[in-house]
Amino acid sequence: MKKLLKILGIVLGVAVLAIIVFVIYVNVRGTGSHEVNVPAIPNVEVTPARVERGERIASMLCKHCHLSPETGKMTGRMLKEVPQFGKIYSRNITKDPEIGIGKWSDAEIIYFIRTGINPKSGKFIPPYMPKLLHISDEDLRSVVAFLRSDMPEVQADKSEFPESEPSFLSKFLSLVAFHPYEYPKHEIPDPDTSNQLAWGKYLTLYQIECFACHSKDFKTMNVEVPEKSEGFFGGGNQMTDEDGKPITTLNITPDEETGIGKWSEEEFIKALRSGIVPNGPALRNPMMPYLTLTDAEAKAIYAYLRTVPKISNEVDRGL
């Protein structure tokens, strides 16, 4: 009996030691470093049309995280909405050559947005920064044109936050689940805007990435195949507002009782643009009004969401 207890003690000790070593390894490894392979991409021609298009996309996708209310520029801020990932700061993406991305090439910016690998450090950035795998090349070039433009939000500014402090969860998931994405091998075309469903799918999944917040959890979303995300558009993702108050994302599947199945097109567009929902309290941060969406874009998004599988999931919005 004593021999058996001794063996069990040794096994337990080895297991505890292995766990300790694993925890130390995960913490030291961080979110991982990777080989940088920036493709040979020509510099983006900055045109008024591209700047306007890029500013519209950035207003829906980039500004919420990178625009500082203190500086009025894209100098970054603390992202209180995702405390599960640690103490996270969005970076300064103004044209400042030292603190911002003024010295980054256009190819490096595009590579970073596509893959999640910082071209200067090789570090991988977990899901608190979107990875635009499927956005069209012209949309991405337009975002770069906006970042290179004379728009006031991107003018050089030396405001700087500390380095982010990813949580153990972020580091662990970056080892076993989150990973960099392969740079596309072919040009990705603009969507066919004459096909309302295809256009709505593109806007919802690839340009604005609505599925990321409105599926069950950031930890189980599938960037490569968004439809495989757990709880696809069924809501329930736990976030916080700008004051740190918990908020749960809405179910926006066409379920009549717990989703938006009873919302008319007009009611959906009103909610999307103004935050006013039918028979309920207004939407609030981190959901923001998409003021720059055209009628046609908003209608395409509504049309696509009517086609996703219904999920019965009653969401407590924490209000």
Q: For 51-72, how does the pLDDT look when each residue is reduced to its tens digit (9 = 90+)?
A: 999 999 999 989 888 999 999 9
What percent of the chain is predicted at pLDDT more than 90? Answer: 61
Residue 318: pLDDT over 60 = no
Residue written as tokens 């640690």? 86
At 274 the pLDDT is 86
**Most confident by average pLDDT, 120-134, 146-160, 280-294:** 146-160
Mean residue pLDDT of the chain comes to 90
- Side chain identity at residue 115, one-letter code: T
CATH code at 196-305: 1.10.760
Query: DSSP characters for the chain?
Result: -HHHHHHHHHHHHHHHHHHHHHHHHHHHHTT-B--------PPPP--HHHHHHHHHHHHHHTHHHH--TTTSSS---B-TT-GGGEE-BPPP-SS-SSSSSTTS-HHHHHHHHHH-B-TTT-BBP-TTS---SSS-HHHHHHHHHHHTSS-GGGS-----PPPPEE-HHHHHHHHHT----PPPSSPPPPP-TTSHHHHHHIIIIIIS-HHHHHSS-GGG--SSSGGGSTTTT----EEE-TTS-EEEPPP-SS-TTTSSTT--HHHHHHHHHH---TTSPPP-TTS---TT--HHHHHHHHHHHTTSPP---------
Positive/negative CA dihedral, 165, 169, 170, 171 = positive
The answer to whether the peptide bond before residue 286 is cis (omega within 30 degrees of 0) is yes
Question: 48-176, what's its fold?
Answer: Cytochrome Bc1 Complex; Chain D, domain 2 (1.10.760)
- Cβ contacts of residue 6 below 8 Å, gap of 6+? none
Residue 266 CA to residue 288 CA, distance in Å, equals 18
The closest of 55, 75, 77, 70 to 150, measured between CA atoms, is: 55
Average pLDDT of the residues in 166-182 = 85
Average pLDDT of the residues in 200-221 = 93
For the chain, the distance separating the N- and C-terminal CA atoms, rounded to the nearest angstrom, is: 59
At 21 the pLDDT is 82
Question: Is residue 181 a contact partner of residue 172, using CB atoms and an 8 Å limit?
Answer: no
Q: Helices 168-176 and 2-29 sit at what angle, rounded to 10 degrees?
A: 90
pLDDT digits (tens, 9 = 90+) for 253-307: 999 999 999 999 999 999 998 888 887 767 777 788 888 899 999 999 999 999 9
Q: 263: number of CA atoms within 13 Å, CB side?
A: 26
Delimit the CATH 1.10.760 region(s) of the chain. Answer: 48-176, 196-305
At 7 the pLDDT is 72
Question: Is residue 119 a contact partner of residue 183, using CB atoms and an 8 Å limit?
Answer: no
Query: Which token pair is 288?
Result: 């923001």
Average pLDDT of the residues in 204-215 = 93
